[in-house]
Amino acid sequence: MDHQVAAFTDTYLPTVNGVTYTIKTWSERWNRNGGRMDVVYPRADGHTAGPREHPVRSVAFPWYDGYRLGTPKVPAAVSNVDVVHAHTPYALGLGAMRLSRRTDAPLVASYHTPGGEYTDYLAPTDGIASGLEGFVEGYERWFFNRADAVLVPTAPIRDHLLDTVGIDSHVEVVSNGIDTERFRPTDPAAFREKYGLEGETLVGYTGRHGYEKRLSDLLEAAEGLDITVVLGGDGPARADLEAQAERTDLDVRFLGFLDRDEMPAFYSALDVFAFPSPVETQGLVALEANACGTAVVAVDSGALSETIDDGVTGYHFTPGNVAAFREKIEDALADRERLGENCLERRETVSVDRAVERLADVYDSVL
């Protein structure tokens, strides 16, 4: 792992999501293992650049709170590289493409987010959103077809790229992996006490509260169950979710963003992690929950169809079927001990160390 790599991303700290933590963890492991991986990202208040981090000028993205658009600039510090890795096809992805062409270094591109799924944030009507979705898929096809290799975290997303988007480039499945040094079973007593959750049966979720995550389905499914719903994170759908909760008899706790150091205790405190989002490319929070010994009830759609092993590390339910969602939550609560043991047995198979080994193989292949 001695290659010099320049990674370009439109999403990075202080923004909190799976893409950010994947890039941060990959770069830390790569550098720790003797290579060099620099990260080029949009400058934002709230994060001070560390070693091998290179912020570029950016502006706020008006239609999606918390995201910024960086100028496709190539900092001088990353001009001497073996591999260029684009974690975005958009603004800074174009900077990655420029560096690849200028240095004749191979371009590897990761497909983290299906851009077409987010066009509702940009378009005022369904008709415009549909047209915009087609445009986004066409642009993604143009960008990824110019990469020497395209990385996806799961097989369902590979199939989506090949069959729906129409990518001709070589596509490799490389799991994002999780930091199993951090995510392990933890005594949740202090966490429960801090947030007033002692003695409660907890079903929860953490991550961005976007409308595309379908968290309203979780609140609807929880009605009639003797549970407390715990939601970590924030996002544009939060106000509507709070209003929905107020119209019911549910006990719903909105914890806001949790410190990264609290996350193992959060997952360990939950009796079940619920994940109704149909737009995930892997669903890292599901793997983090599993690594802490917590079963996941997830929608049987997209990457979550593969991320969760039905009946082993959790249960699936049919998209949009709230009654089935409720039933599977009940099944998981009743079966939590067996599912939890299964989750712990599989911890090492989802570790970031394995992911970085696979990443090195891909870099070797394009070189």
Q: What band does 65 get if pLDDT is binned at 50, 70 and 90?
A: low
Read off the tokens for 243. 């209003």
Between 341 and 120, name the one with better pLDDT.
Answer: 341
Tell me the pLDDT band of 66, cut-offs 50, 70 and 90.
low
Q: Which residues, 6+ apart, have CB-to-CB distance to 111 below 8 Å? A: 140, 144, 150, 151, 152, 157, 161, 281
Q: Is 254 exposed, middle or buried (0-12, 13-18, 19+ CB in 10 A)?
A: middle
- Report the amino acid identity of residue 190: A
pLDDT reported for residue 2: 85
Tokens representing residue 209 in the block = 């509260």
The CATH architecture assigned to 4-177+351-366 reads 3-Layer(aba) Sandwich (3.40)
* Residue 279: both structure tokens together: 């737009």
Give residue 117's pLDDT: 53
pLDDT level of residue 60 (50, 70, 90 thresholds) = confident
* The Cα angle at residue 23 between residues 80 and 349, in degrees rounded to 5: 120
The radius of gyration computed from the CA coordinates of the chain, to the nearest angstrom, equals 20
Q: Is the pLDDT of residue 125 over 60?
A: no
pLDDT category, 135, cuts 50, 70, 90? confident
Range in 88-92, 129-133, 171-175 with the lowest mean pLDDT: 129-133
Question: pLDDT of 24-34, one tens digit each?
Answer: 999 999 999 99
Q: Is 80 helix (H, G, I), strand (E, B) or coil?
A: coil
CA angle 116, 119, 124 (to 5 degrees): 155
Q: Is 161 exposed, middle or buried (0-12, 13-18, 19+ CB in 10 A)?
A: buried
Please check whether the two domains, 4-177+351-366 and 189-349, share a CATH topology: yes
By the 10 Å C-beta count (0-12 exposed, 13-18 middle, 19+ buried), 366 is classed as middle
Enumerate the H helices of 223-321 as residue ranges.
238-246, 263-269, 284-291, 304-307
Q: What angle, 0 to 180 degrees and rounded to 10, lies between the N-to-C axes of helices 336-345 and 322-334?
A: 80
Are 164 and 137 spatial neighbours (Cβ–Cβ below 8 Å)? yes
Considering the four listed CATH numbers 3.40.50.2000, 3.30.390.30, 3.90.470.20, 3.40.640.10, the one that applies to the domain covering 189-349 is 3.40.50.2000
Percent of the chain at pLDDT exceeding 90: 85
Q: Where are the domains of the chain?
A: 4-177+351-366, 189-349
DSSP string of 323-336, one letter each residue: HHHHHHHHHHHHTH
Question: pTM here?
Answer: 0.87
Please say if the pLDDT value at position 127 is more than 90: no
Spatial separation of the C-alpha atoms in residues 314 and 318, rounded to whole Å = 14
Statement: residue 128 has pLDDT above 90? no
pLDDT, residue 119, reads 47
> How far, in Å, are 59, 70, 187 from residue 50 at the CA level?
21, 18, 31
Confidence of residue 155 (pLDDT cuts 50, 70, 90): very high
Reported as half-sphere exposure (CB side, CA atoms, 13 A), residue 105 has a value of 24
Tokens matching residue 26 = 């990959």
- Average pLDDT of every residue of the chain: 92
Judge whether residue 317 has pLDDT over 50: yes
State the Cα–Cα distance between residues 363 and 367, nearest whole angstrom: 6
User: Which helix (DSSP H) or strand (DSSP E) does residue 254 occupy?
Assistant: strand 251-256
Q: What is the pLDDT of residues 178-219, one digit of tens each?
A: 999 999 999 999 999 999 999 999 999 999 999 999 999 999
pLDDT of residue 69: 82
- Answer with the residue of higher pLDDT: 123 or 176: 176
pLDDT in tens, 95-118: 999 999 999 999 999 999 876 555
292: left (phi over 0), alpha (psi -120 to 50) or beta: alpha
Q: Is 26 helix (H, G, I), strand (E, B) or coil?
A: helix
Amino acid at residue number 101: R
pLDDT of 313 above 70? yes
pLDDT of residue 123: 46
* Tally of residues, the chain: 367
| Pairwise CA distance, residues 355 & 367, whole Å | 19
